[in-house]
């Protein structure tokens, strides 16, 4: 009887704290997140990044490897890898986005660069970066710092929001748990005292 009473108290306390935790659901801000793709929207990796580039003779001349963004983060051009075999000896050239012709062929989007003749591609100089690309170690270090900062900020913000929302519910749950514990304690004590009274000599 005593074990069952203690177990009942434990279940009640867990349930009350679970209710308090559920009250901490975050408020999702409006006009920030996008849940689904609209009919007039395109994802760059679906039709541009990694896409094969054809010339006007329907021959593959390269593939899109990256996007060139301007100071307001608008796509101004693309980086196309041309020549080489399996990436060896490949040259990366910059092409203005307006020079690309996005066509629909057999139900699929195709990227066409009409001026991409063999002679032109051979004569072009490789695209010159303003800054050298980051090394693998630099990218890994930046990613590690980013993840650490995100984890710290997210945990801190989540804790503060949960504390603000759960505070009253937590106090109420703690109060109810204390009352339930006291009642169970009294019940257990009565259960223990009653057999002792019955066994005492009259």
Q: What CATH number is attached to the domain comprising 99?
A: 2.30.30.240
| Of the candidate ranges 7-11, 121-125, 167-171, the one whose mean pLDDT is the lowest | 7-11
Model confidence, pTM: 0.54
CA dist., res. 145 & res. 154, Å (int) = 14
82-86, 97-101, 114-118, 140-144: range with highest mean pLDDT: 97-101
Does 82 lie in the same domain as 6? no
Q: Where are the beta strands (DSSP E) in 33-168?
A: 52-54, 60-69, 75-82, 91-96, 101-105, 108-112
Q: Radius of gyration (Cα) for the chain, nearest Å?
A: 34
Are 80 and 115 part of one and the same domain?
yes
Alpha-carbon distances, residue 5 vs 18, 24, 49, 93 (angstroms): 20, 30, 64, 76
Does the pLDDT at position 122 exceed 80?
A: yes
Kindly state whether residue 105 falls inside one of the protein's structural domains. yes
**Domain of 114?**
44-133
Kindly report the average pLDDT of the chain as a whole number: 78
Domain count, the chain: 2
84 vs 110, higher pLDDT: 110
Give the length of the chain.
202
């Amino acid at each position: 009887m005593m074990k069952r009473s203690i177990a009942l108290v434990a279940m009640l306390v867990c349930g009350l704290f679970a209710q308090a935790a559920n009250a901490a659901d975050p408020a999702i801000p409006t006009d920030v997140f996008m849940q689904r793709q609209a009919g007039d929207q395109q994802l760059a990796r679906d039709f541009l990044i990694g896409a094969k580039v054809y010339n006007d003779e329907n021959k593959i001349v390269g593939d899109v490897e990256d996007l060139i963004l301007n100071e307001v983060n608008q796509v101004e051009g693309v980086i196309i890898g041309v020549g080489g075999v399996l990436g060896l000896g490949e040259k990366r050239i910059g092409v203005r986005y307006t020079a690309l012709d996005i066509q629909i062929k057999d139900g699929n989007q195709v990227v066409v660069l009409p001026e991409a003749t063999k002679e032109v591609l051979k004569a072009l100089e490789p695209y010159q970066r303003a800054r050298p690309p980051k090394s693998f170690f630099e990218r890994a270090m930046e990613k590690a710092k980013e993840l650490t900062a995100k984890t710290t900020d997210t945990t801190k913000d989540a804790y503060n929001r949960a504390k603000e929302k759960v505070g009253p519910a937590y106090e109420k749950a703690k109060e109810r748990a204390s009352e339930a514990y006291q009642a169970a304690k009294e019940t257990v004590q009565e259960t223990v005292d009653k057999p002792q009274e019955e066994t005492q000599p009259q």
